Amino acid sequence: MLEIKDLHVSVEGKEILKGVSLRLENGKVHALMGPNGSGKSTLANTLMGHPKYEITEGKIVLDGEDITDLGPDERAKKGLFLSFQYPSEISGVTIPNFLRTALNSITGEKISVRDFKKLLEEKMTLLSMKKEYTDRYLNEGFSGGEKKKAEILQLLVLNPAIALLDETDSGLDIDALKVVAQGVNEFMAKDKSVLIITHYKRILEYINPDKMFIMVEGKIKLEGKGDLVDHLEEKGYGWIEDQ
Amino acid sequence: MNEPDWFLEFRNRVETAESNSPDYRHGLSINISPVIDPMGKPFAKSAIISSNEKILVNEDVFNSDKILEFKECLEEISGDDKLQNKMLAECTDIIFIVIPSSSTKKIEIGLAGAGSVLTVILAEKNSKAEILWKKKDEVAESTYIFAKDGSSVTFTAIQEMSGDCLESRKAIISNDAYVNWANLILGADYTRSETSSFLNAPGASTKNKALYLADNDQRMDIYTGSIHNSSNTSSDIVTKGAINGKAKALSRGLVRITSEAPQSDGYEKQDALLLSDTAEADAIPNLEIHNHDVKCSHGSTVGQIDKDKVFYLMSRGLSEKEAQLCIIQGFFSPVLEKLDDEFRETLLVRIMERASHEK
């Protein structure tokens, strides 16, 4: 379980998160929605430990352990994963090479090339990814949809405990969205926890959220069950203010 | 030993040659005038030359049955500036490598000790040569490749020297011949490296890769040039370096396409990756086009390691050092394909070693 307690975060001296508290529970799908600029991506990057985001107050607690001061690599080893809104392009590094290094770092064990190949192929098949992907450099020259698929591939191979999906559904066509949702559902089948950050109801039709949070101006303004999204869709964010 | 009069005449010619270039060219405010002290008497074997194959060295050259060919090559040799001319005029050792017509040779040569070495490589018609060139200590180097019709020469150099490195390399490329330079610059406090290809006949082509790692207080001045003097010639220059510590690196490139070289194709790209706040780099690609019927392009980048990339990789479990290493290796790896194994491994090992020294 990931607990976020009264989190205040500043970027270059400007406070973006103004006291966020929420819990991500095991075995549950959580969704976070909110207007542009409300701080959703800031929360995702802060949870993963981006050095640009300064935590001025509050705590992040993973399974009872305070991880507020840990670096991104240590958080990854403890089971956190972030699917990036804008994944970086890493020239000269192929997906299999990179992902095997990452998997070895996280597990602290060395997976054989053969076992890794098998694992990778299995997950790629699941995501309808062509074999040619493995010859290409990580995210370099990928289309928006390909990048998001590559993020979900990494999620499935690294198999963390908690996945934060920062607008993984943005820019996907219907077919790609279905594939991504299938990937997330596959991941969830193993009693994991996921936080879906999104602007659209669309993805939540394929992945049913158990809990919803609405963020406005750096705070969680409303939380509820999965059906909250229907009210929101109907009435817009202005409606939150009246609650 | 007594050298023949014609060689003394050669020394005299290059020493007194007029040069339009400044005395010594250098950049990045590097204000040195390297002195070519003969560092040993002529042919006293002050330079240590080793080879896996029998090659002609010093008196062997004068006594060889290929002496006429050597003299012919010598006529075409001169430096571009006073420093190069001085290196030639005061050369302490000479090497002559002949790749006979239609033969294939793989030669590994080591240079060490001190001195100024003049090397002439003559690739006869339709021959094929792979030369692996390794340098240590403090030798000044002048190397000339004559690639005759239909020949192919790959010259792979690994420089891990102490002291200063002065090297000047030129390829004179004939009909449908090909010269492939790969230069790995790792050592020396000060490096002045010049590698150019002269595409002098139709169908001549060249590739020129210069990769470097500069660290601490190293200074590197790297020049790569493609001179298109004939039609249907093609050239491709790639310079890539990572600069750390307080090191400074300057890479200059030139693609010159003369009016005599229609339907030629020239490309140059120079990239520098800065690994510290105190490292400096300058990448200057130049084009000189005197013909309308050509294809030519260039580009250069100087940048630091992208912090977002480091974060991205760290979020997948890599430590900060591993993430940086991954980015540095990735920076070089697209140009490492098809290169000599030792070249590639030396670079990757040195990247790792240097990364592990930090912090």
Domains along chain A? Answer: 2-242 (3.40.50.300)
B13-to-A56, B146, B313, B339 alpha-carbon distances in Å: 74, 20, 58, 38
Q: What percent of chain B clears pLDDT 70, i.e. is strictly above it?
A: 91
Q: Are residues B354 and B242 in the same domain?
A: no
Average pLDDT, chain A: 93
Q: Express each pLDDT in B9-20 by its tens digit.
A: 999 999 888 766
Nearest Cα neighbor of A42 from A56, A29, A24, A30 is A56
Note the pLDDT of residue B35: 47
Q: Are residues B103 and B171 in the same domain?
A: yes
Residue at which a domain ends, from B304, B331, B350: B304
Q: Are strands B178-185 and B205-214 parallel, antiparallel or unpaired?
A: parallel
Q: Are residues B310 and B290 in the same domain?
A: no
Average of per-residue pLDDT across B163-171: 91
Nearest Cα neighbor of A98 from A36, A140, A56 is A140
Structural domains in chain B (count): 2
- Does B333 sit within 8 Å of A92, measured CB to CB? yes
Q: How far is A137 from chain B (nearest CA, A)?
A: 9
Please name the residue of chain A whose CA is at the shortest distance from the CA of residue B320.
A73
- Tell whether the model's pLDDT for residue A28 goes beyond 60: yes
Q: Are residues B145 and B265 in the same domain?
A: yes
Q: Are residues B42 and B101 in the same domain?
A: yes
Q: What percent of chain B clears pLDDT 90, i.e. is strictly above it?
A: 73
Q: Are residues B337 and B236 in the same domain?
A: no
Domain that holds residue B56: 5-304
Note the pLDDT of residue B54: 87
Handedness of CA B328, B333, B336, B342 (dihedral sign): positive
Nearest Cα neighbor of B81 from B135, B37, B142, B22 is B22
- Tell whether the model's pLDDT for residue B42 goes beyond 90: no
- Tell whether the model's pLDDT for residue A237 goes beyond 90: no
Which of B271, B307, B308, B311 is most worth mutating to test chain A (most A CB atoms within 10 A of its CB)? Answer: B311
- Does B327 sit within 8 Å of A73, measured CB to CB? no
Q: Three-state SS for A106? A: helix
Note the pLDDT of residue B359: 42
End-to-end distance of chain A based on CA atoms, in angstroms?
28
Q: Express each pLDDT in A182-235 by its tens digit.
A: 999 999 977 799 999 998 888 999 999 999 999 999 999 999 998 888 888 788
Please name the residue of chain A whose CA is at the shortest distance from the CA of residue B333.
A92
Q: Express each pLDDT in B130-146 by its tens digit.
A: 999 999 988 889 999 99
Which residues in A lie closer than 8 A to residue B314 (C-beta atoms)? 49, 71-73, 76
Q: How far is B171 from chain A (nearest CA, A)?
A: 30
Which of B271, B306, B313 is most worth mutating to test chain A (most A CB atoms within 10 A of its CB)? Answer: B313
Nearest Cβ partner for B309 among A50, A90, A106 = A90
Average of per-residue pLDDT across A60-68: 96
Note the pLDDT of residue B62: 92
Q: Please report where in the chains the tokens 């062997």 appear, as a residue.
A: B60
Q: Are residues B9 and B130 in the same domain?
A: yes
Nearest Cβ partner for B330 among A51, A91, A103 = A91
pTM of the model: 0.86
Q: Are residues B84 and B37 in the same domain?
A: yes
Nearest Cα neighbor of A163 from A51, A26, A71 is A26
Q: Are residues B311 and B290 in the same domain?
A: no
- Does A98 sit within 8 Å of B326, measured CB to CB? yes
- Tell whether the model's pLDDT for residue B275 goes beyond 70: yes
Band (B39; pLDDT cuts 50, 70, 90): very low
Band (B38; pLDDT cuts 50, 70, 90): very low
- Does A88 sit within 8 Å of B317, measured CB to CB? no
- Tell whether the model's pLDDT for residue B301 goes beyond 70: yes
Residue at which a domain ends, from B304, B326, B344: B304
Nearest Cα neighbor of B282 from B267, B301, B309 is B301
- Does A102 sit within 8 Å of B317, measured CB to CB? yes
Residue B20 or A124, more confident: A124
Which residues in B lie closer than 8 A to residue A99 (C-beta atoms)? 316
Q: Are residues B268 and B331 in the same domain?
A: no
Average pLDDT, chain B: 89
- Tell whether the model's pLDDT for residue B342 goes beyond 70: yes
**B359 contacts chain A (CB < 8 A):** no
CA distance B130 to B180: 9
**B319 contacts chain A (CB < 8 A):** yes
Q: Are residues B345 and B256 in the same domain?
A: no
Q: Are residues B86 and B232 in the same domain?
A: yes
Note the pLDDT of residue B29: 47
Residue A26 or A189, more confident: A26
CA distance B248 to B307: 22
Note the pLDDT of residue A226: 82
- Does A158 sit within 8 Å of B317, measured CB to CB? yes
Note the pLDDT of residue B334: 85
- Does B316 sit within 8 Å of A102, measured CB to CB? yes
